[in-house]
Amino acid sequence: MPQLWLRLATVLYGLGLLQSLYQLVRRRAGEDLSRFAIPAVGLGMVFHLVSVVERALLFGYGDLLTIRYAGSGLALLIVIIFMALFARFKTASPGVFVFPLVFLLTFASAVGQQSDMAPVFRSKGWIATHVALLLIGYAALFLSFVASLLYIVQSRSLKSKQPATWLSRMPALQVIDDLGYKALLAGFPFMTIGLIAGSVVAQEQFGPTYFFDPKVLLSLLMWGVYVVLIYTRWSSGWRGRKAAYMATFAFVAAVFAWAANYVSPLHRFVAP
């Protein structure tokens, strides 16, 4: 049953995705997006939530922490944040970037094979903390990345001296900027504590060798970029292009760290 809800959610997110692609092609204002895609994605979010809760009740929350469903969990977090922002700022423009990612993450969870081995860890609490905190960290980082892209789009449009009408509903430059920075700041503690929690578990389970796992290394790289990103912003107020390059770099690192699940012995949960 949870799988059915998840698939339903995927289809609804797909509608949102189609709408955002259409919007990119037609270059029309975000009003089109919100009229049709927002209800679809909102409904998708509800099914998604139902699916996650039901799965947790049926199989225990440990099941949500498998690689397969962590993606769906991340997608759910991102959608919830997106919806909250929509309610607050009445803007659906991040949807152009948010919907494709959400769709892909959910799609992967919805159609994948039921082959993940359940993690056999001694300290389930730590693992849960590790995964949950990192998911929030990823969501915040992604949001900040989206904000920096929107910043560039809006800034270009203003500099071109012909503010395009399809952008007219985007939030103001400074609002986007604030949003990205706040997301970055909010995500940092989650990311940090999440990584620490992971190290504690790994240390306990595998001993010091865990450190040379590819995913661990990539995660540390991502964390490093994250720190630099916050530092440059804080010390010299980097915005716009430079900040966007940094954010892109951090995001790419995050994507690799995430994808490393497939090459990391630790995170495939294969006992060494």
Partner 1 sequence: MNFFVIGVNHKTAPVEVRERFAIPESRLPEATQALTSYSGVEEGMIVSTCNRVEIFARAKNGDCDLHGFVRQYYGFRQGEYEQYTFEHKHLDAVKHVFRVAASLDSMVVGESQILGQVKEAYATARAMGAVQSQLDALMSRAFQVAKKVRTDTQIATSSVSVASVAVELAEKIFGTLSGKSVYLVGAGKMCELAARHLIAHGAKKIYVSNRTYERAVALAKKFQGEAIPFESLYDSVAKADIIISSTGAPHAIFRKEHGEKFLAQRRNKPMFFIDIAVPRDVDAALNDLDGIFVYDVDDLQQVVQSHIGDRRREAERAEALVQEEVLKFQQRLQQADVVPTIVSLQEHLETIRQAEIDRLRGRLGTLTPEQEIAVEALTRGIVNKIMHTPITTLKSAAREGEQATTVVEIVRKLFNLRSAHANQRGQACDAEQPVPVAAAAKINGSSNP
Report the interface residues with partner 1, using CB under 8 A.
154-155, 158-159, 161-163, 165, 171-175, 236-242
Do the Cβ atoms of 229 and 246 come closer than 8 Å? yes
Torsion sign across C-alpha atoms 263, 137, 75, 110: positive
d(CA 166, CA 97): 16
Strands (E), the chain: none
Output the smallest distance, CB 193 to partner 1, in A: 29
Which one, 174 or 209, has the nearer CB to partner 1?
Answer: 174
What is the gyration radius of the CA atoms in the chain, in angstroms?
19
* Residue that the structure tokens 């990391």 belong to: 264
Least separation in angstroms between CB 168 and partner 1:
8
- CB nearer to partner 1: pick between 165 and 209: 165
**Residue 179 beta carbon to partner 1: minimum distance, rounded to whole angstroms:** 11
Nearer to partner 1, 73 or 171 (CB): 171
**Residue 129 or 154 having the CB closest to partner 1:** 154
Quick one: 173 or 196, whose CB is closer to partner 1? Answer: 173
CA–CA gap between residue 212 and residue 209 (Å, rounded):
6
Measured from the CB of residue 92, what is the shortest distance to partner 1 in angstroms? 17
For residues 6 and 106, the answer to whether their CB atoms sit within 8 Å is: yes
Q: Do residues 69 and 103 lie in contact, with contact meaning Cβ atoms separated by under 8 Å?
A: no
Q: How far is the CB of 159 from partner 1 (least distance, A)?
A: 6
Helix, strand, coil share (%) of the chain residues, nearest 5 = 85, 0, 15
Q: CB-wise, 147 or 253, nearer to partner 1? A: 147
Judged by CB, which is closer to partner 1: 151, or 210?
Answer: 151
Token pair 């892209």: residue: 149
Question: Among 149, 134, 146, which residue's Cα sits nearest to residue 254?
Answer: 134
Distance in angstroms (rounded) separating the CA atoms of residues 204 and 196 = 12
- 75 Rama class: left (phi>0) / alpha (psi -120 to 50) / beta: alpha
CB of 187 to partner 1, least distance (A): 22
Least Å from the CB of residue 240 to partner 1: 4
Q: Name every residue whose Cβ is closer than 8 Å to that of residue 149 and which is 6 or more positions away in sequence.
A: 97, 244, 247
Q: Would you call 261 helix, strand, or coil by DSSP?
A: helix
Taking the complex as a whole, how short is the minimal distance between the CB of residue 239 and partner 1, in angstroms?
5
Nearer to partner 1, 8 or 230 (CB): 230
